[in-house]
Amino acid sequence: MTICTTFDLTSFENLKAPKLHDLSINFFKYPQADDIFNKVFYMEDNGKITALKILAWAVHRGFSMSNYLEFLIQTPGSSPKWHKFDSPIYASVNDLVSCKNIVRFNMISCHELHLEESVGARRGESWYTFPKSFQFNNELGHVIECLSRIRYFIGTPDGIFIGLEHTEEDMKESADEAKAAHFNGMEVVDFAEPIVVNIKIEIPQTDIVTKTLTLK
């Protein structure tokens, strides 16, 4: 399965994906791809039994600061929209009418993705962070690694995609870029000609006195 991080948020914005917008993400459970994609489900919507397809899922941070999943769904004759399932869905019309066989997805904990290995995330006891931003620190005199803000975290049939953003304007995606951004165009103020400093140390001359030792 493809797992990647990116600072290019265009695709997420085009999908109008729900935002996470935090420096860390608590462990959460997501549905197994084979359970939800390329399948037709049915739900009751506005007094009608409506077919739907799930195109993607996304982690959303709610007002209570807890994470939950929203799903990008497609229904007949309508544009895709993000939806939180508050009522059951079924694999067939007969199941819905019979009120049986509610679809329950197999959920996988995100710590099983091993994001620390696949995309260089930093793993805590129950959370992930992404130290993917770099900034030149004037006090230390070198580039430092910083946490990136997690803006989007979505799953599609093609894999899992994590949209990141820098928390400050001068942060860059690599240490070399951060160093170049700091030094490129900086003026060097130097002396026009080398300054030669001559140091002369005078050593005083002393007379030498020689005596002959006579033992009596």
Kindly list the averaged pLDDT for each block of 10 residues, start to end, along the chain of length 216: 93 94 89 93 94 95 76 95 93 95 91 89 92 95 95 95 96 94 90 76 65 58
Task: State the pLDDT at residue 212.
Answer: 60
Task: State the pLDDT at residue 215.
Answer: 56
Domain boundaries, given as residue ranges, for the chain: 3-179
Q: 6 phi and psi, to 5 degrees? A: -155, 150
Residue reference for tokens 């304007």: 169
Task: State the pLDDT at residue 194.
Answer: 73
Task: State the pLDDT at residue 193.
Answer: 80
CB count in 10 Å sphere of residue 118: 14
Task: State the pLDDT at residue 207.
Answer: 65
Task: State the pLDDT at residue 205.
Answer: 67
CB count in 10 Å sphere of residue 91: 14
165 neighbors 149 (Cβ within 8 angstroms):
yes
Task: State the pLDDT at residue 197.
Answer: 73
Q: Which tokens sit at 186?
A: 């900086």
Task: State the pLDDT at residue 11.
Answer: 95
Q: Which residues of 129-157 are buried (b: 16+ CB within 10 A; e: fewer)?
A: bbebbbbbeeeeeebeebbbbbbbbbbbe
Note if the pTM is more than 0.75: yes
Task: Convert the pLDDT of each residue in 66-100 to its tens digit.
Answer: 788 999 999 999 999 999 988 999 999 999 999 99
Task: State the pLDDT at residue 203.
Answer: 67
152 neighbors 12 (Cβ within 8 angstroms):
yes
